[in-house]
Amino acid sequence: MRKILLVGNPNVGKSVLFSRLTGVRTTVSNYPGTTINYTRGFTKLGEEKLELIDVPGTYTLEPTSEAEEIALKMLKNGDVAINVVNATNLERSLYLTLQLLEGDIPVVVALNLWDDTKHRGIDIDLEKLEASLGVPVVPTVAVTGEGIKELVESIPEARSPDGPPRSRDERWAAVGEIIDHVQHIEHRHHTWIERMQDASVKPLTGGLIAVAVLVIAFLVIRFIGESLIGYLLDPLFNTLWAPVVLKVGALMGGSGFLHDVVVGKIVGGEVNFVESFGLITSGLYVPFAMVLPYIISFYFVLGLLEDIGYLPRLAVLMDTIMHWLGLHGYAIIPTLLGLGCNVPAVLSTRILESKRERFIAATLVSIAIPCAALQAMIFGLVGQRGGHYVVIVYATLFIVWVILGIILHHSIKGFSPELLIEIPPYRLPPWRIVLEKMWMRIYGFLAEAIPIILGAIVIINMLYFFGVFNAIANITAPVVSGLLGLPKEAITSLVIGFLRKDVALGMLAPLALTSKQLVVASVVLAMFFPCIATFVVLLRELGLVNMCKAAGIMISASLITGGLLNLIL
Amino acid sequence: MRPGQSGLVVEIKGGFGLISRLNALGILPGKRVVKISSMIARGPVTIEVDRVQIAIGFGMAKRIIIEIDQ
């Protein structure tokens, strides 16, 4: 089967084009570096089946970063390259095009974002461009699907024109000549979108915009999440599902091990969905009625911010602060992703240049950035005791994030590289893409979390039944009770935290903790150790040695922080 | 260079790596750039080149020599 590679600069829409061509859904956003690994899919050209590969974005084929090295390696194994070019910025894109043409692989050029050229006053002469490059050039609008059919049909026309390899300066000179020849730009006045773009990277206006964006984002997330719980899911569970649970409980005889696994503990003939810990009670209520609403609202808002193109601007504003932590501004992207789920956050640390930065960023995310599932439970359980307790939990985690970052920055050898990023223009979010991406992420949550949550509930019941938890609780009592001031049974929650932190926090509900104890337990649970899914990617991304270091940092930091909170509060 | 000013890139004072990274983003001698903003406390500088905005760390930005338009 022939391999077709999609090659191009970062953020020119390769992944959107890839989804269009193959039907495979991929994460697309409006910032450079969304695709950190390659994705494969298939498409058809007449009767022939083709393999398509979405290569991470690269500016050149001179390997200066990891993404570029990957791109270079993959080019050697490809049969045809579709060079995706940003029609609104031909100057930037053509350097890579010329490099590709100098190689042996046949090339077709997809002139993407074609619709944007018209209202930006850019006029490109397609015929002249085709003639100067010597390969087919197809204008496309990946977001709407325009030109996709023509692009596929042009694959057999792909060519590798003969020509001598050029030096870097010769190549830039050649780019300049082609641009003068084929592109004409009309001068226009600034639009309001462009004024907003400028304002959001200036210190004063940018700071105000950032605060406004983050506050609005938070309020919208709360509003959507709470509305879904209060008006839809809670009533659904309480009026429709609770009677079913009681019937099932009665059928199973009202007690016994199997009854406890399936239904959980029912006290006084009423179903307590949070505390009963059965498969059809907490096993469904925690993921669907407590966590899912916040997953939906968080990813909706994050998707909007991503696709509008706000995140790189936040990176510019945060750059100085992130340098205190040994990172640069772009590390804000893994951090924000971590507020959803730590797994994609750790993966996205690949957009950072050095191993040192990746270690710091990944460690900080897995210690101090609570995922949406855990946050939903914090809002649900700690929030009942009063909003200021939630604030204490968040403030503590934020302080830990800063202090630990500063410590890591000063204790790990090396320096933090500087920020160098292209800031994409603001774009109105394409709704189809925002919703598709949200659905992909929600589906990811359901597919990965539900089996683990249900498994965790079975394990919890078994460990209780066989008295394992009691044994552990007695061993760890000095630390848990002495240092952290928690009842010794709270260790069960920390143990289960390795599986899922949302369920683990739920296990604290029946322990009748004081508000202070609940705050301490929530913070320790958030920091103590990553959940199994995060653990696996950390191990893969950092390697065993660094993973052990990170784990050591996590455990000691969480015990110190928990101990201090216990003393102060 | 102050925000709002424009000028021509004269030279990039740096090693091969820095030059090729900046070139890749369209910053090379002869290109016209406009400074959009700079963050306080030696934060990143945002410039516009070929209708695209680029944020550059302070230390790197210092190495790009610009002749400011009159």
Query: Do A420 and B56 count as a contact with CB atoms less than 8 A apart?
Result: yes
A330, closest residue in chain B (CA to CA): B55
Q: B24-69, pLDDT tens digit by residue?
A: 898 999 999 999 999 888 899 999 998 899 999 999 999 999 999 8
Q: Most B CBs within 10 Å: which of A68, A420, A421, A427, as the mutation test of the B interface? A: A420
A60, closest residue in chain B (CA to CA): B24
CA dihedral defined by A506, A512, A518, A522, rounded to 10 degrees?
A: -20
* Chain B interface includes A422 (CB < 8 A): yes
ipTM tops the 0.90 cut: yes
Cα–Cα distance for residue pair A13/A191, rounded to 1 Å: 23
Cα–Cα distance for residue pair A7/B9, rounded to 1 Å: 29
Nearest residue, CB atoms, A316 vs list B50, B55, B60: B55
Q: How confident is the model at residue B2 (pLDDT cuts 50, 70, 90)?
A: confident
Cα–Cα distance for residue pair A359/A112, rounded to 1 Å: 36
- Each residue's pLDDT, cut to its tens digit, for chain A (569 residues) gives 889 999 999 888 888 899 888 887 777 777 776 776 677 888 888 888 899 988 888 888 877 666 677 778 888 889 999 999 999 989 889 999 999 999 889 999 999 999 988 878 899 999 999 999 999 999 999 988 999 999 999 999 998 888 788 888 899 999 999 999 999 988 777 788 889 999 999 999 999 999 999 999 999 999 999 999 999 999 999 999 999 999 998 898 878 888 989 998 887 778 889 888 899 999 999 999 999 999 999 999 999 999 999 999 999 999 999 999 999 999 999 999 999 999 999 989 988 888 899 999 999 999 999 999 999 999 999 999 999 999 999 999 999 999 999 999 999 998 888 999 999 999 888 888 889 899 999 998 999 889 999 999 999 999 888 888 889 999 999 999 999 999 999 999 999 999 999 999 999 998 889 999 999 999 999 999 999 999 999 998 899 999 999 999 999 999 999 999 999 98
DSSP state of A267: B
Query: Do A60 and B42 count as a contact with CB atoms less than 8 A apart?
Result: no
Query: Do A172 and B28 count as a contact with CB atoms less than 8 A apart?
Result: yes
Q: A28-56, pLDDT tens digit by residue?
A: 777 776 776 677 888 888 888 899 988 88
Quick count: other Cβ atoms within 10 Å of Cβ A521?
A: 30
* Chain A interface includes B28 (CB < 8 A): yes
Q: Is B6-68 in CATH node 2.30.30.90?
A: yes
Q: How far is CA A156 from the centre of its chain?
A: 37
Cα–Cα distance for residue pair A86/A96, rounded to 1 Å: 11
How close is the nearest chain A Cα to the Cα of B57, in Å? 5
Output the pLDDT for position A67.
Answer: 67
Query: Do A92 and B52 count as a contact with CB atoms less than 8 A apart?
Result: yes
Which residue type occupies A236? L
Which residue type occupies A128? K
Q: Cβ distance A390 to A381 under 8 Å? A: no
Helix residue ranges, H only, A228-341? 234-235, 242-251, 257-262, 282-285, 292-308, 311-324, 332-338
CA dihedral defined by A16, A22, A26, A32, rounded to 10 degrees?
A: -40
Cα–Cα distance for residue pair A143/A36, rounded to 1 Å: 20
Helix (H) or strand (E) segment spanning residue A81: strand A80-86
Output the pLDDT for position A77.
Answer: 86
Query: Do B55 and A319 count as a contact with CB atoms less than 8 A apart?
Result: yes
* A 149-188: CB under 8 A from B: 168, 172, 185
Domains of chain A: 2-185 (3.40.50.300), 203-414+431-568 (no CATH)
Nearest residue, CB atoms, B55 vs list A185, A202, A423: A423
Which tokens in the block code for residue A444? 């990811």
Query: Do A422 and B17 count as a contact with CB atoms less than 8 A apart?
Result: no
Phi-psi region of B66 (alpha: psi -120 to 50; beta: other; left: phi over 0): beta
Phi-psi region of A530 (alpha: psi -120 to 50; beta: other; left: phi over 0): beta
* Chain A interface includes B55 (CB < 8 A): yes
Q: Which residue has the tokens 């709002």?
A: B4
Query: Do A197 and B56 count as a contact with CB atoms less than 8 A apart?
Result: no
Q: Where are the domains of chain B?
A: 6-68
Which tokens in the block code for residue A517? 């104890």
Nearest residue, CB atoms, A319 vs list B21, B39, B52: B39
Quick count: other Cβ atoms within 10 Å of Cβ A77?
A: 10
